[in-house]
Amino acid sequence: MSVEAPARILAVDAGQTGIKARLTGGGMPAERLFPGILTHQPLFPQLARVVREVLDAAGAGPGVTVTAGVSGLTDAEADAAALLAVIADPRARSVRLAHDSTTSFLGAIGTGVGAVVAAGTGVVTLAVGPTRVARVDGWGYIMGDAGSGYWIGREALDAVMRAYDGRGPRTALRSAVEARWPELPQAYIALQSADDRVSIVASFAAEVARLADAGDAVAQSISERAGSELAHSVITALVRVDAGVGEPAAVCAIGGVLRSGHVRHAFETRVTAGHAEVHLAEPRGTGLDGAVALADLPAQHPLSAHVSTATA
């Protein structure tokens, strides 16, 4: 009796901070980490390079299914056939492509009912009800991403410049900013001209978390407001999909921003106070696990309508 070889899946979790890839099905999973998406450059060539590098490094043969969850994926970009064409590699047999809110949800909750907020450099919330799906925020650093690492960093820079002008209270955040730009009045010029300005701004979120723990009132206020914004998005999403009606809906909060104790406390306090039928849950897995799960997502699941598929 022949034993069918396990399907090979090349899963990609693509964000602005980094791109993670995992090749499964050929023995021990092989994982790689690449630099994050450059939002000012075309997306598909960046993903295609990652796919080909992983396949080359693993010496993979034909029949690989590529599954990808991508931060900031627009409706126009959600075209698996177009990505498959750009990959242009006979080893890639098919592609399943989705916004990373979908893969974050699958990794954290699986195919159940609830909401996941994923807060890193950017942020997006996805809720899945019995029949409907709702995405809240994820509108990028210019128009949205409230409570994200970028949002926190931007609030920190604003607070520092307000203090410098005399428009706001003093804060230890000033020292953190001056460590990067000793000539504070010239900082905005250097920042605006930097290609990686989004990640630079988001990097200050770690200083906000550290100084909030150290007792800086401005850093604490920023952290608490970030947690409140994230909770507001979750509550809104749950209401839109009728999740938590009759039984509590699972709520997962993932991403580096939630490592801040002040952010997480504010988030959990508002979520539980603002929507009675929820229970806070630890994530089952990561966004990369969710990308792997795209390969076996049931066609009848509400999220299936949000996954683009193509086969060579």
Q: 124 phi and psi, to 5 degrees?
A: -150, 145
What topology does CATH give the domain 112-280?
Nucleotidyltransferase; domain 5 (3.30.420)
Structure token digits, residue 146? 């409230």
Q: For the residues 133-143, what does the mean pLDDT come to?
A: 93
**Angle of helix 80-87 versus helix 43-58 axis, rounded to 10:** 50
Contact 203, 239 (CB under 8 A): no
- What does the mean pLDDT of the chain come to? 92
Residue 303 to residue 163: CA distance in whole angstroms: 46
- Cβ atoms 21, 31 nearer than 8 A: yes
Cβ 238 vs Cβ 271: under 8 Å: no
Asked if 233 and 137 touch (Cβ cutoff 8 Å), the reply is yes
Nearest Cα to Cα of residue 292 among 102, 116, 63: 102
> Do 8-106+286-311 and 112-280 agree at the fold level?
yes
Q: Which residue has the higher pLDDT, 134 or 244?
A: 134
| pTM of model > 0.75 | yes
CATH number belonging to the domain at 8-106+286-311, selected among 3.30.420.10, 3.30.420.40, 3.30.1130.10, 3.30.830.10: 3.30.420.40
pLDDT (tens digit per residue) in 288-300: 999 999 999 999 9
Which of 137, 129, 130 shows the shortest CA–CA distance to 101? 137
Q: Is residue 147 over pLDDT 90?
A: yes
Interior CA angle at 66 toward 255 and 22, to 5°?
A: 50
Say what the pLDDT of residue 301 is: 94
Band the pLDDT of 3: cuts 50, 70, 90: very low
Consecutive H or E run containing 167: none
- With a cut of 70, say whether residue 275 has pLDDT above it: no
Give the span between the Cα atoms of 6 and 26, in whole angstroms.
Answer: 7
What's the rounded mean pLDDT across residues 113-120? 93
Across the range 89-109, mean pLDDT stands at 94
Single out the residue of 302, 298, 306 nearest to residue 97, CA to CA. 306
Provide mean pLDDT across the span 55-67: 91
User: Is residue 247 within 8 Å of 277, Cβ to Cβ?
Assistant: yes
- For the chain, the domains span 8-106+286-311, 112-280
Mean local confidence (pLDDT), 46-65: 93
